[in-house]
Structures are given as C-alpha cells and as structure tokens.
Chain A
Amino acid sequence: MRKGRVPFIITFLAPPLLLYVVFVLSPFVQGIQISFTNWTGFTPNFDYVGFQNYTALIGDSAWWHAVTNNLKLLIVIPIVTLALALAFATLLTRGGTGGTQHGLAGQRLYRVVYFFPQVIPVVIVAIMFQFIYSTQSGLLQQTLDFIGIDLLELIPNGPLGNRDFILWAIVIAAVWSTVGFYMVLFIAGMQQIPREFFEAAAIDGAGRVRMFFHLTLPLLWGHVQVSLVHIGVGALDMFALMSVMARNGVSADYGGDVMATQLYRTAFALNSQFGYASAMATMLLGFSVLLAVLTFRITRRERLEY
C-alpha cells in the first residue's frame, strides 16, 4: 500500500509475537521436552530418561486415583450444570404460560443474580464454601442445627473431612459458581431461534415440556456441545477449588485429589520433580484433547439451519 508498510508491520507485530512465543509457546514445547528428563527443577543438569516418567506414571496408583476422581467429576459436573442451566434458561425465556410468549416474572433480576458467582474469583468461592462446610460453626452446620440435625452425625468429620463426601462437596461449589454463566449462554442461543417455530408448535398443541425437547434442545445443540467441552475441560482442571477446599488434594486422606493438585504437589511441594510433573501435564493435555474430540464425535448431529 503506502510507504513505510514493512516497518509498520514489524513494529506492530514483533512485541506481541515475542511475548507470546517466549511466555506461552516456548513453555508448552519445553513442557513436553522436560517430561522426558529426570530434572528436579533445582539442579542445572538433568538426563534424558526416555519414557521412564510415563511408565512410572502408568504404574502409579496415586495418579490413577486422581484420574478416577477427575473422571467422576467429568461425568457428574457437566450433567448437573447443563440440566440446571438449560432448565433455568428455558424458564426465563419461555417459561411463562403458553410457552411461547415470554419468560417468567422477574427474569431480568434472576439473570443478573444467577450470573454473580461467575464473576467472583474461583478461589474466593472456594474459601467461602470452605467456611460454609466448616465443622466449627459453618453455615451448613448451623442451618442443620436449626432444624435439629447434627452435621457430624450425618457426615462424620464434615463434608471436607470425609473421604466419601469431599469430592461431592466440591462439586456443589463448582456447579454453584458456573450454572449462571451457562444459563446466560443458552438464553443468548434461545433468542436466536425464530419465535414462529414456537408459535407453530403451540398451535399444534405442544406443551412446554415437548417444546423443550423437540424444538429448543435440537436447535440449541451447537451451544450445548461447546458448553460440554468447556465444562469438561473445567472438570479436568479444578485446581483453584481443590487447592483451597482439599488443601492441594491431601485433605480427607486424598479423597479430593485430582490430576491438577497432584501435578502441583509433584512439581512444587516437598520433593520437586519437574520431569515427572511435566509427564503428568502432558497426559493432562492428552486427556483435554481427547475429551474435545470425543465430545464432538459423540454429540455430533446434523447442523440445523434456520
């Protein structure tokens, strides 16, 4: 175009590109490289050990315990979150009588309030729930006391101290903090569906429930798919919640340990093993990619144009 074009392109592109390559791309590549070494992170020298970290990982029962926990989260969190978010979104857009015209009264207020937890830092959510679940006069205990139930009798050692309950106690916090977000996402999607479809369905005598399963859900499928991947990747991470509520995974006899917390402990706690931790990170990456591919494979159906 005009003169000075090349210097301009270079000046504008070089700084962001440099930052990105040094701090984002190079660590990703190095991560895979480090996973083939026995580096501790403290010493300057290390040896390449081939797939030794990976074979060790495959035989590591603590790792598989963490993987199992992630898989449990991967099944439960998306189902609960999606069910609640879809239900709320439907009620707020088309929940009113007749099912086509309007949402329920107060929908604007609901929408703002439901979204609150999404903007609060996840760590703050975690701390808050830690206090809610506390066995030393936490909100849950006090509420149960009020109606005459003893929390410690119901759940020995409390929700975050009990090996069988800790994971589910944390699931509640995870769902609490994201439902509003997916609800807003689905509302945006639902508003793109032409209103005539619902009118036609209403004339044909479809009720609210049928309209949801035969009209809204199929037309919203793209949004649901994307949300599944997102929630799934979130369920593979969970670091912020677990780090606080399960004390980096060690609480309740490792009942809430997940891949992310184990990776963190391996790399940064007592005996630092960068090589081993990087192998975990690479496996975690593999899981994430696999999850995204699987989700799109399993949930694939024809794109509906409207």
Chain B
Amino acid sequence: MTTLPTPTSPAAGSAERGHSPAPAPPPARFTGARILSDGIPQVFLIAWGLLVVLPMLWVLISSLKTNREIFTSPFGLPETWEFGTYVDAWQTANIGRFFFNTVVVVVCGVLLTLLFSSMAAYVLARYEFPGNRFIYYLFLAGMMFPLFLAIVPLVKVTQNLGLYQNLVGLIIVYVAFSLPFSVFFLTAFFQSLPKELAEAAFIDGAGHFRTFFQIMLPLARPGLISIGVFNFLGQWNQYMLPLVLNTPKDDERSNFLLTQGLADLALRTRYESSATSVAEMFAGLVIAMIPVLAVYIVFQRRVEEGLTAGALK
C-alpha cells in the first residue's frame, strides 16, 4: 500500500488502496508560508526517522569495529572494516548454526502452515456439512487467548510426544499456533473467489483433490502470499516458544534458533569478556535483522496488508 498524495474520488481511493503505485506528488511550491507550515512538522518527522535509523546504523557500524573501537570512537567509522567479525560470529559464536536452524524451522513452518490452513479454509469456505460453523469458530477461538496460558502445559504435551527440545517439535507447534489466524484469513479469501470455476472443473471431470490443487490454490495465490509473509515474520520473530520448548541440548546449543541464541549470548556477554565478543554480538544482530528487512522491502505492500489485517481481525 502506498499513501496517495493526490486527490482521488472516494471510490477510486478505496479501489486503489494497495493495488496501484502512488501517483507522483504534486509539484511543490516553496513559498515562505509553505516552508514554515510544512517545515515544523518536517522537523518532527525527521527526528523520529533519525531515532529509528540511527540505533540500527550504530549496530551495523559497530559490528565492523574492534571491541576497543566501540569504546573509544563510538561515532566514527571503523579504522579498518573488520569483516572477519562476521566470520567469527558465524563460526565461533555458533550464530551460523542458529541461523541455519531458524531457516529450516521457519521455511518448513510457513510451508506447512500454508498447506494445512488452506486445506481447512477451503473446506470450511466451500463445503456445507454439519459442524462446519462449529469447527470454524473453534479455530477462531485460538486467536483470542494469549500464548502464556498454554505455555506450561505445552511443555508436557511436547515431552510426551517426543517433540521437546527438537526442531521438528518446534515446527509442529509453530504451525499449530499459526493456524487460527491463517484459517480465518484464508476462509474469507476462498469465499470471495468465484464459485463457477470449481463448478466448471467438476463438470470437466476433475475430482475434489485435483480441483483444489490445480484450480483453487493457484487462484488463492495473493491470499497465500499475504498470509505466508505474515507467518514468516511471526515465526522468524518468535521467542517464547523456542525459549521454553527448545532448551539447550548441548554446550554448543546446537539446537538453538537465532532469537533465543542471541538473547542467550546477550545475557552472558559483558563488554570486556573477550576481544571481539561485543562486535560479534552486533554482527549477530545484523544477521538476524537482514532477512526480515529484506522480506519487508521486497514485499512491502503485502507485509503491511498482512500485518494490518492481522490487527483488524
């Protein structure tokens, strides 16, 4: 979505939301009054922009300094760009391993979430059977409760099923907790697709399964992308679940995800503890931020749509 600076009629405005690039802003006329009345708000906007960007930039630049430099010249550029810090962070601080684990869990988690939620949503949206509404509301109920209520018993459930302290367990739990909102979102999406296409497929002799995978899923692509991005960010950022369900298996913490691994490092890191430890920590933060920022920049509109739809549910 983009803000629309130029005048549009209300109808066009709502139709355009999220579907077309913003038209060019009107040419600015810098009269004195204009400079003053636009200038004061601009000062606030720039100030907040700096408050957002500078800490992130500080992390990035510090990650390329030596530990000593982080102390002695906090605002300057690094004397020599220590790209080696990233290698150290990746290998000795085991962040590479955390990163790899996170990618595995999130990729599997998101794909399975998409598969399961679209299956359930499709059936709930398009097939009438006794209990349909009941199951739909049962899924919805999961959106209302805070994760905290479930966390203690969840430890026991996963332990009993052999899913404690391992990545497969995490994937399954992520998928389960992603289902309520995804089913809710995709049910509405499938309901909005034209019924005639499925009817036509049936007449051509396609079965229920073929109709779903070859006709309906491709049609649902925009909805799947939105919900996929939504879940990618949600699962990548998850902290509570891995912290509780994925406790360290060994000294290297080889089963950790990025968020819990970095939090664990942060809680143990002291500025003086080793030659590059703080710089490594900063490098780790950068490594954790890059994928989500990249996804946001590429899918900007979808991310905003998906997340705001999540809030307005």
Interface majority SS on A: helix, strand, loop or mixed? helix
Contact assessment for B53 and A113 in the assembled complex, using a CB-CB cutoff below 8 Å: yes
Q: Is B281 an interface residue (CB 8 A)?
A: yes
Q: Is B17 an interface residue (CB 8 A)?
A: yes
Q: Smallest CB-CB separation from A8: which chain B residue? A: B208
- Report which residue of A104, A122, A263, A277 has the largest number of chain B beta carbons within 10 angstroms of its beta carbon: A104
Q: Is A184 an interface residue (CB 8 A)?
A: yes
Q: Across the interface, which residues of A come within 8 angstroms of B161, CB to CB?
A: 22
Q: Is B197 an interface residue (CB 8 A)?
A: no
Q: Smallest CB-CB separation from A277: which chain B residue? A: B152
Interface majority SS on B: helix, strand, loop or mixed? helix
Q: Across the interface, which residues of A come within 8 angstroms of B209, CB to CB?
A: 8
Contact assessment for A2 and B139 in the assembled complex, using a CB-CB cutoff below 8 Å: no
Contact assessment for A124 and B117 in the assembled complex, using a CB-CB cutoff below 8 Å: no
Q: Across the interface, which residues of B come within 8 angstroms of A8, CB to CB?
A: 123, 127, 207-209
Q: Across the interface, which residues of B come within 8 angstroms of A243, CB to CB?
A: 239, 243, 263
Shortest beta-carbon distance from A136 to chain B in Å: 4
Q: Which of B5, B141, B260 makes the CB contact (< 8 A) with A103? A: B5
Interface set, chain B 262-312, CB cutoff 8 A to A: 262-263, 266-267, 270-272, 278, 281-282, 285, 288-289, 292-293, 295-297, 300, 303-304, 307-308, 311-312
- Report which residue of B3, B117, B120, B145 has the largest number of chain A beta carbons within 10 angstroms of its beta carbon: B3
Take A12-B122, A136-B271 as given contacts and tell me if A122 and B237 are in contact as well, using a CB distance cutoff of 8 Å: yes
Q: Across the interface, which residues of B come within 8 angstroms of A106, CB to CB?
A: 42, 45
Q: Across the interface, which residues of A come within 8 angstroms of B173, CB to CB?
A: 23
Q: Is B74 an interface residue (CB 8 A)?
A: yes
Contact assessment for B172 and A103 in the assembled complex, using a CB-CB cutoff below 8 Å: no
Contact assessment for A230 and B311 in the assembled complex, using a CB-CB cutoff below 8 Å: yes
Interface set, chain B 41-74, CB cutoff 8 A to A: 41-42, 44-45, 48-49, 51-53, 55-56, 58-59, 70-71, 74
Contact assessment for B153 and A23 in the assembled complex, using a CB-CB cutoff below 8 Å: no
Q: Is B177 an interface residue (CB 8 A)?
A: yes
Interface size on A, residues (CB 8 A): 109
Contact assessment for A281 and B127 in the assembled complex, using a CB-CB cutoff below 8 Å: no
CA distance A184 to B309 in the complex (A): 11
Q: Across the interface, which residues of A come within 8 angstroms of B22, CB to CB?
A: 108
Q: Is B200 an interface residue (CB 8 A)?
A: no
Contact assessment for B183 and A9 in the assembled complex, using a CB-CB cutoff below 8 Å: no
Q: Is B14 an interface residue (CB 8 A)?
A: yes
Interface set, chain B 99-158, CB cutoff 8 A to A: 116-117, 119-120, 122-124, 127, 129, 135, 138-139, 141-142, 144-146, 148-157
Which residues in A have some Cβ–Cβ distance to B below 8 Å?
1-2, 4-5, 8-9, 12-13, 15-17, 19-20, 22-28, 30-32, 34, 41, 84, 87-88, 91-93, 95-97, 101-108, 110-124, 126-132, 134, 136-137, 139, 142, 146, 176, 179-181, 184-185, 187-188, 191-192, 194-196, 223, 226-227, 230, 233, 236-237, 239-240, 243-244, 247, 260, 263-264, 267-268, 274, 277-278, 281-282, 284-285, 288-289
Question: Can you sample 19 A-B contacts with CB below 8 Å?
Answer: A5-B127, A9-B127, A12-B212, A17-B120, A31-B152, A101-B5, A105-B28, A108-B3, A116-B52, A118-B307, A119-B296, A127-B281, A129-B55, A132-B55, A137-B71, A179-B48, A185-B312, A191-B17, A192-B17
